[in-house]
């Protein structure tokens, strides 16, 4: 039966090539855009270099202080908060502390260069798995000694020293200070701001002594690494208990919100959250509305084309009904035909997405960002094609099933 449906569907597609082109173009374009968006989301939220342990990591991104007027002040945490309070947690095996990256200017041969840098603790290199091209990270002793040492990225090495040159032991100047390079790591895309920088420095060499500032807010974030995924819930509970006992920094504040979240929840909390609300419901609502609106136009277009095709096939429908074909059989045939059409469009969309993603990866528009279409994205693409085919085929199929034999034969 399905084989016959497939043969009929191909014959129908060949009959009106212009309508077929419009249908396939709308389907493939829509799915191509969805695949590229899904690939970008996958790049953002799936574990990857150098943050490969996301399945057993929690992230502390912000502290929210609520005033008596219900006004919220949102800021990253201070080093004091993370070092004095968070580092005392018993469940995490390691705690990576790092500042948000900043940009500074340096000069090479009278040429101004811009370099991004961030400060970290020693456990930062244990939690995150940077690939060292040469050298090694700084250790706790070098941090405690206040040694002016630096780990730089390949991009910083190429800009400052030149490509493919060994630079371990050489000095790089940034913010009017000299640092001895002790390691070079592979580049990190700027789309991962919590781990991105071109130069990584010990927090003890910061111009402003971050260890003496006793405020709760500042410009640092932390990653709490658990021994296993089963410990994440315990860490969240321990963190909540610990933060509930911290005194507020002033009388003008009535409450403090801060959370140890998974990467995805923390990301969405920063964008859609409000106070203690993670903002996930808002995100899923907005995403659903955007996807539905995005699919609405091609769906309506395909419905109209399908109705036109039905009117052209009225004689076929009338004859088949006259010879005893049930409405259910005709409806099933048309829906299967439409699903075949959308799957062909989906296949074209997948091929187009591979081409466009390859062009994007090689264009350098987003340095070090490499998108890919994995099996998860492929599955959701095929699922979208199935849903797309069913939705756009149900109403025309229903119209066809309501057509009377006499009217169908007259329309022909």
What is the reported pLDDT for 5?
62
Please, which pLDDT band fits residue 306 given cuts at 50, 70 and 90? low
Question: Given pLDDT bands bounded at 50, 70 and 90, which one contains residue 258?
Answer: very high
Query: How do residues 160-178 score in pLDDT, each as one tens digit?
Result: 998 877 999 999 988 788 9
> pLDDT value at position 30?
80
End-to-end Cα, the chain, rounded Å? 26
Question: Could you tell me the two tokens for 181?
Answer: 């390079």
CA–CA separation, 225 and 223 (whole Å):
6
Mean pLDDT along residues 374-390: 73
Residues comprising the chain, all counted: 412
Q: Is 110 helix (H, G, I), strand (E, B) or coil?
A: coil
Average per-residue pLDDT in the chain? Answer: 84
Which tokens hold the place of 313? 């096939």
Q: What's the confidence (pLDDT) of residue 235?
A: 97
| Res 8: pLDDT | 64
Domain coordinates of the chain in residue numbers? 2-46+282-411, 62-260
pLDDT of 387: 75
Contacts of 394 (CB under 8 A, 6+ apart): 335
Is the Cα dihedral 384, 390, 395, 399 positive or negative?
A: positive
Rounded Cα gap, residues 161 and 343, in angstroms: 52
pLDDT digit string, tens, across residues 41-99: 888 898 999 999 999 999 999 999 988 777 788 899 999 999 999 999 999 999 999 99
Asked if residue 206 has pLDDT above 80, the reply is yes
Residue labelled with tokens 């022909």:
412
pLDDT digits (tens, 9 = 90+) for 116-141: 999 999 999 999 999 999 999 999 99
């Amino acid at each position: 039966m399905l084989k016959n449906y497939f043969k009929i569907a191909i014959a129908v597609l060949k009959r009106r090539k212009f309508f077929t082109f419009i249908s396939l173009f709308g389907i493939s374009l829509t799915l191509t855009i969805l695949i590229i968006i899904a690939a970008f989301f996958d790049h953002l939220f799936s574990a990857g270099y150098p943050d490969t342990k996301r399945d057993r990591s929690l992230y502390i991104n912000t502290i929210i202080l609520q005033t008596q007027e219900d006004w919220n002040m949102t800021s990253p945490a201070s080093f004091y908060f993370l070092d004095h309070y968070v580092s005392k947690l018993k469940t995490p095996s390691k705690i990576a502390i790092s500042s948000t990256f900043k940009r500074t200017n340096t000069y090479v041969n009278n040429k101004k260069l811009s370099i991004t840098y961030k400060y970290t603790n020693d456990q930062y290199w244990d939690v995150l798995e940077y690939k060292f091209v040469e050298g090694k990270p700084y250790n706790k002793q070098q941090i405690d000694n206040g040694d002016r040492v630096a780990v730089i990225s390949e991009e910083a090495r190429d800009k400052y020293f030149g490509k493919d040159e060994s630079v371990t032991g050489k000095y790089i100047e940034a913010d009017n200070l000299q640092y001895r390079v002790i390691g070079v790591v592979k580049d990190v895309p700027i789309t991962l701001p919590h781990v991105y920088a071109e130069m990584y420095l010990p927090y003890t060499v910061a111009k402003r002594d971050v260890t003496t500032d006793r405020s709760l807010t500042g410009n640092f974030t932390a990653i709490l690494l658990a021994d296993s995924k089963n410990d994440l819930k315990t860490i969240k509970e321990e963190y909540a208990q610990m933060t509930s006992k911290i005194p507020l920094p002033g009388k003008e504040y009535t409450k403090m919100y801060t959370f140890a979240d998974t990467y995805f929840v923390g990301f969405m909390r920063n964008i859609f959250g409000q106070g203690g609300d993670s903002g996930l419901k808002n995100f899923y609502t907005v995403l659903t509305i955007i996807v539905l609106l995005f699919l609405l136009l091609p769906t309506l277009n395909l419905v109209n084309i399908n109705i036109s095709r039905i009117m052209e096939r009225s004689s076929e429908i009338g004859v088949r009904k006259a010879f005893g074909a049930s409405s259910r059989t005709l409806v099933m045939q048309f829906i299967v035909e439409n699903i075949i059409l959308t799957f062909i469009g989906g296949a074209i969309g997948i091929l187009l997405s591979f081409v466009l993603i390859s062009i994007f990866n090689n264009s350098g528009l987003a340095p070090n960002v490499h998108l890919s279409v994995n099996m998860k994205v492929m599955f959701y693409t095929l699922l979208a094609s199935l849903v797309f085919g069913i939705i756009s085929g149900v109403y025309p199929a229903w119209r066809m099933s309501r057509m009377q034999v006499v009217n169908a034969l007259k329309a022909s």
